[in-house]
Chains A and B, each alone.
Chain A
Amino acid sequence: MGNLGLAEGLTPLAAASVALVLCVWLGFVFVEVRRSERAGATVLASALFAALCVAGALLRPTRVEKRGARLGPRVAVLVDQARRLRLPAEHGDRRSVALDAAGALLRRWTAAEVDVFGFAEGKLVPLSLDKESTLGQLGEESDLTGALSELAGEPGERFRSIVVVSDGRLARPTEHLDDVALSAALGSPGVPVHTVRVAEQAPADASVREVSTVGAAVAHQPLVLHVTVGCAGGLRCDEVPVVVRELRQASDAAELARGVAHPGAGEATIDLEVTIERAGQRVIEVAIDAPPGDRVPENDHRLLTLDVRRERVRLLHVAGRPTYDVRQLRLWLKGNESIDLVAFFILRTNADQPNVVDDTTELSLIPFPVDALFTQHLPTFDAVMLQDIDANEYKLEPYLPALEAYVRSGGGLIMVGGPSAFSGGGYAGSPLERVLPVELPRTGEPYDLRTFVPAYTAAGRVAPVLGGVRQLLGEELPAMEGSNSLGKARPGSIVLWEHPDRRVGDSPMPVLALGEMGDGRSIALGVDGTHELAFSELAERTSGRAYGALWDGLLGWLMRDPRYEAGRVSLERPCIAGEPTAFELVPPPGATGEVSLTIERLGLPVETALTRTLAQTGPSLHVDAGRLRAGGYSARMRVGAAPPTRLDFACEDGGRAYADSRPDPGRLERIARATGGKSVRPVDVGDLPLPDPTEIMVERRASALVPPWIWSLGAALALGAHWLLRRRAGLA
Chain B
Amino acid sequence: MSDGNRLGRRALTAGLVALAAAPCDAWAFGEAGAFRARLLAAGKSRTDEARAGATSRWASELVRRTSAPGREEREVVSLDRPALFREPFAVWSGAEDVGALSMSEVSGLERFLRLGGTLVVDDAEPESGAFGRSARREILRALPEAPPVRLEASHVIFKTFYLLDRPVGRVLGPTHIDAVVRGRNAVVLFLAHDLLGALARRGDGWAFAVEPGGAEQREHAIRFAVNIAMYVLCSDYKDDVVHAPFLLQRRGRAR
Which residues of A line the B interface, CB within 8 A?
Answer: 320-328, 330-331, 334-335, 341-349, 352-356, 360-366, 388, 418-419, 423-424, 426, 428, 442, 445-449, 451, 480-484, 528-529, 531-532, 534-537, 539-540, 543-544
- Most chain B CB within 10 A, of A324, A448, A531, A532, is at A324
Closest 9 interchain pairs by CB? Answer: A482-B29, A323-B33, A322-B233, A481-B32, A324-B33, A361-B254, A325-B33, A419-B30, A364-B159
| Cβ–Cβ contact A323 & B243, under 8 A | no
Q: What's the Cα separation between A330 and B88 when bound, in Å?
A: 14
Name the residue of chain B whose CB is nearest to the CB of A390.
Answer: B6
Q: Name which of B60-68, B121-129, B139-147 contacts chain A.
A: B60-68
**B64–A353 CB distance below 8 A:** yes
Please give the distance in Å from B79's CB to the nearest CB on chain A. 13
Q: Is the CB of A349 within 8 A of B67?
A: yes
Determine whether B21 belongs to the interface, using a CB cutoff of 8 Å to chain A: no
Q: Which of B46-54, B97-105, B189-197, B245-253 contacts A (4 or more CB under 8 A)?
A: B245-253
Nearest to B243 among chain A residues (CB) is: A366
A539 in contact with B115 (CB, 8 Å): yes
Please state if A364 and B162 are interface contacts (CB–CB under 8 Å): yes
Q: Which of A325, A343, A419, A539 gathers most chain B CB within 10 Å?
A: A419
Contacts of B86 in A (CB 8 A): 536-537
- A341 to B240: give the CA distance in the assembly, Å: 9
Hey, which chain B residues are within 8 Å of A388, CB to CB?
Answer: 30
Interface pairs (21), CB distance under 8 Å: A322-B230, A327-B88, A330-B237, A335-B183, A347-B68, A347-B161, A354-B66, A355-B219, A361-B253, A364-B238, A388-B30, A418-B33, A419-B6, A480-B32, A482-B30, A483-B29, A531-B32, A535-B117, A536-B86, A537-B85, A540-B85
Bound: A327/B29 CA distance, A: 17
With A321-B67, A325-B33, A345-B234 as contacts: A481 and B28 at CB distance below 8 Å: yes
With A324-B88, A446-B1, A537-B82 already in contact, 16 other A-B pairs whose C-beta atoms are closer than 8 Å: A322-B233, A324-B33, A328-B88, A330-B235, A347-B66, A347-B230, A363-B163, A364-B161, A364-B247, A366-B242, A418-B30, A446-B6, A481-B32, A528-B32, A529-B32, A535-B115
A522 CB → nearest B CB, Å: 21
In the bound assembly, the distance between CA atoms of A540 and B247 in angstroms comes to 37
- Which residues on the A side are within 8 Å of B242 (C-beta)? 342-344, 366
| Bound Cα distance from A531 to B116, whole angstroms | 11
How far is the CB of B70 from the nearest CB of chain A, in Å?
Answer: 10
Would you give the shortest CB distance from A22 to chain B, in whole angstroms? 110
CA distance A105 to B92 in the complex (A): 100
Asked whether, in the complex, the Cβ of A426 is within 8 Å of the Cβ of B1, the reply is yes
Most B-side CB within 10 Å, residue of A364, A418, A445, A529: A364
Bound CA–CA A385/B25 (angstroms): 30
Measured CA separation A537–B87 after assembly (Å):
9
Give the residue of A326, A480, A535 whose beta carbon is less than 8 angstroms from that of B234: A326
In the bound complex, what is the Cα–Cα distance between A341 and B233 (angstroms)? 17
Minimal beta-carbon separation of A8 from chain B (angstroms): 99
In the complex, the answer to whether A347 meets B67 with C-beta atoms within 8 Å is: yes
Question: How far, in Å, is A563 (CB) from chain B's closest CB?
Answer: 25
Complex Cα–Cα for A535 and B111 (A):
11
Residue of A nearest to B89 (CB): A324
Docked pose: A361 CA to B165 CA in angstroms: 12
Residues A323 and B85 in contact in the complex (CB < 8 Å), given A528-B33, A535-B117: no
In the assembled complex, the CB of A539 is this many whole angstroms from the nearest CB of chain B, namely: 7
Cα A543 to Cα B117 with chains together (Å): 12
- Chain B residue with Cβ nearest A335: B183
Contact call B233/A327, Cβ cutoff below 8 A: yes
Residues of B within 8 A of A451 (CB): 26
Q: B83's closest neighbor in chain A, by CB?
A: A537
Among B1, B67, B250, the residue within 8 A (CB) of A322 is B67
CB contacts (< 8 Å) of B88 on chain A: these are 324, 327-328, 535
Partner of A528, one of B30, B35, B68: B30
Docked pose: A334 CA to B236 CA in angstroms:
9
CB-based contact A346/B234 at 8 Å: no
A428-B29 in contact (CB<8A) = no
